[in-house]
Chain A
Amino acid sequence: MNRFVSQCLLLFICSAAGFFVPGCSKKETPVVFAVGGAPAEIDFWQTTVKTFEERSGIAVEVLRQPTDTDQRRQNLVTALRASRPTPDLFLMDVAWIAQFAASGWLEPLAPFLENSPLSRNDFFEPVIRTAATYNGTLLALPVYVDAGLLYYRKDLLETYGFSNPPELWDELVAMAHTIIDRESRKGNELTGFVWQGAQYEGLVCTFLEFAGSNGGGLVLSGSSPIVATERNRQALAFMHDVVHREKISPVNTGIDMKEEEVRRAFQRGSAIFERNWPYAYTLHEAEDSPVKGKTGIAALPRFREGTSVSTLGGWHIGLSRFSRHKTRAFSLIVRLLSFEVQKASALEVGWNPGRIDVYRDPTIMEHLPHLLTLRDVFAHAVSRPNVPWYSYLSNVLQRRLNAALTGSMPVDEALNKCEEELRVIVEQYSMRK
């Protein structure tokens, strides 16, 4: 018995020593870079980081996060909330930046930029101004940018004599009806328009596009938020009607239509129009895709009295306030946002670089000619409200908009309730200091 206890003790001491010894060795602790996403994206980061390590001699550890966006965020919130020194660097969805910034978790980047080859003019100006800057301080840099786009079936539009993609939402509806009717006579059942309507962040993005293209949107600048306006009502009613009245959008739009469901529906060849982020283009044009060579992209349509609006998406890189080696970490940022790496990210994983100069590169223009169209869309993309309590605001919008979309609440009532609840949220989180 005694021997057993002493053996156990020995084992414990050895394992404890094994745990602490690496920390005591002379080797510097690595810069920890948290990334998530699809396997191909993680692979891309790992190769990029490896090259950086070889060239600079700075050790980097790639910390793999969950794929799900919400879980990636929760993962970071937990570490930062506890003032943990790692991860040093992390990727953030644009929608989180304000919360992270207001929580004091992000290191201001301007002092680092001064002595580096990077400059804020390398990136899309509105992205830097409306998303990466909080209260006048630059706290993040765009790794890749996203904005909502209209995908359409070039072949079908041509067959039925439509030479251009729709510029107005009404035109989109009319085209969809014509094509669905004619095709169904041939026994080909088509869906008109697929877009993100499930109760999640994507619904807020699409709503801001529909509303914005009608001259509406969400106003937060005054003392209380304004959302129950006539223009927003028209936009939300339109979203409801394409599903329930016009029936050109699938009946499950409000239930399970997220990015991937939408992309798959279009890629199967069963939809004429699609609203999605730019990532879908590379996949639609893949070798085994049924819609390869038949996919067109354009700016999203608008209502008669509005202009086309795209919601800004994408991921930014941030440097933790609690990092113990900020200079080394920033040199990794410089590498990741270099022309070379940004170009490789476009060619290898299909991202749309945050740097503007990449879009004019000859190789890019040859291999990814559509990026030039995207450049214009990005330059005019609209940010979601840049407030720290955005996620609560979004929860309310998601819940109420989805209720209207699925028909469980009238459009007017949904917007009124929305405004009421938003007022409470704003009072709760902005007035008290």
Chain B
Amino acid sequence: MPKRVSRASSDTAWLAVLLAPALLLPAALILMPALGAFVNGCMQDVTFLPRRWAGLANYARLAHDPAFHQSLRFTVLFIAVSVPLELGCGLLLALLMQAPSPLRGMLRALVLVPWAIPSAIAGRVWELVYNYTWGPANYVIKLTGATAVNWLGSAEGAFLALVIADLWKTAPFVAIILLAGLSAIPERLYRQAEVDGASFIRRFYAITLPLLRPVLVVAVLFRAIDALRIFDLIYILTAGGPGGATASLSLLGYLYFVGGDFGYGSAISTFIFLIALLTALTVVRLGRFGKSLQ
């Protein structure tokens, strides 16, 4: 017995040694910067004021900063609208890409194009598309007889414009992840269900969706966190306008860094990090919950 105990404890020691690099790396790359940002958020760290400890003053300031509230509202709404749309379109694309057809190879290659284009360039292209006077978007709308949409000039228009551009850009990414999940579902399950007389819709709900759940969780996680920290597309397309209606949290944080208030900028970053962490935990928890039900 004592021999076995010592064997086990030395195993644990080995485990610790072997796991150390895997634990140290995230600690160095994630935990330290996050902690650093939090601590910096506790400082009065403004280039033109003396640097000193400020406690939670910067975090308290978040509570009554109208610009921050506007950004928070926008960002939450953006996630709530764009992520489900991206999942839906991505799933549709994935099913299309999986269905045997002579065009399958070409479709798979084409779908990836928007995702491969750098956001900065995509942003410039969409800027042209949304141009009020001569952009293709309004050209098509006018052809149908409707009045031109003031895409980037109204709060609603700009929101919609960003969602569409983001959808175009990221639905392919979701599709690729889901395609991998779809390919892992054994073909025989479908054949058996078919023998049992299950309709296409029934097969989708009873086989595809539940077996896709783990991959869906990953896709939701990626997309939700990406949408939370969206910056590039907005910086180029609307720069936060009109009237600050599309200033995401990251854009707001950036503006504070440029203006020299690193403390408040860090407080905003920490806030984003906390929401990202909460989102990740919630999504993972929900994913597991689904699994255990099976």
- Which chain A residue shows the least CB distance to B127? A256
**B47 contacts which of A103, A250, A400, A408 (Cβ < 8 Å)?**
A103
> Known: A70-B258, A402-B243. Contact between A408 and B46, CB under 8 A?
no
Q: Is the CB of B258 within 8 A of A77?
A: yes
Once the chains are docked, how many angstroms separate the CA of A73 from the CA of B260? 10
| A81 contact set on B, CB distance < 8 A | 47, 260, 262
The answer to whether B48 touches A432 (Cβ under 8 A) is: no
Chain B 210-238: CB-based contact to A (< 8 A → 1; otherwise 0): 00000000000000000000000000001
Which of B50, B240, B243, B261 contacts A408 (CB under 8 A)? B243
Q: How far is the CA of A432 from the CA of B61 in the complex (A)?
A: 14
Residues in A whose Cβ lies below 8 Å from that of B150: 251-252, 255
Residue contact B260 to A399, C-beta cutoff 8 Å: no
Chain A binder among B34-42, B151-159, B170-178: B151-159
Indicate whether A396 reaches chain B with its CB closer than 8 angstroms.
Answer: yes
User: Do A251 and B242 contact each other (CB < 8 Å), given the known contacts A99-B48, A99-B259, A103-B48?
Assistant: no
Interface residues on A, range: 35 or more
In the complex, which residues of chain A have a beta carbon less than 8 angstroms from the beta carbon of B259?
Answer: 99, 389, 391-392, 395
Please judge, given known A-B contacts A250-B133, A388-B260, A428-B61, whether A399 and B50 are in contact too, CB under 8 Å: no
Query: Is B49's CB under 8 angstroms from A429's CB?
Result: yes
Q: Is the interface of B mostly helix, strand, loop or mixed?
A: loop
Closest beta carbon of chain B to A110's beta carbon, Å: 21
A395: chain B residues at CB < 8 Å are: 67, 255, 259
Chain B's closest residue to A265 (CB) is B133
Residues of B in contact (CB 8 Å), total: 37
| B100 interface residue per 8 A CB criterion | no
Contact partner of A102 (CB less than 8 A), chosen from B48, B238, B245, B257, is B48
CB pair B47–A77 under 8 Å, yes or no, is yes
**Which A residues have a C-beta under 8 Å from some C-beta of B?**
70, 73-74, 77, 80-81, 99, 102-103, 105, 198-200, 250-252, 254-256, 388-389, 391-392, 395-396, 398-400, 402-409, 414, 417, 420-421, 424, 428-429, 432-433
20 extra interface residue pairs, beta carbon distance < 8 Å, beyond A252-B133, A391-B255, A391-B260: A80-B47, A81-B47, A81-B260, A199-B238, A250-B133, A255-B132, A255-B241, A256-B152, A388-B47, A388-B48, A389-B259, A395-B67, A396-B67, A400-B244, A403-B242, A405-B242, A406-B153, A408-B155, A429-B261, A432-B49
User: 24 interchain pairs (CB within 8 A)?
Assistant: A70-B258, A99-B48, A199-B238, A199-B239, A252-B150, A255-B152, A255-B241, A256-B131, A388-B47, A388-B260, A389-B48, A391-B258, A395-B67, A395-B255, A395-B259, A399-B240, A402-B243, A402-B244, A403-B245, A408-B242, A408-B245, A421-B66, A429-B261, A433-B49
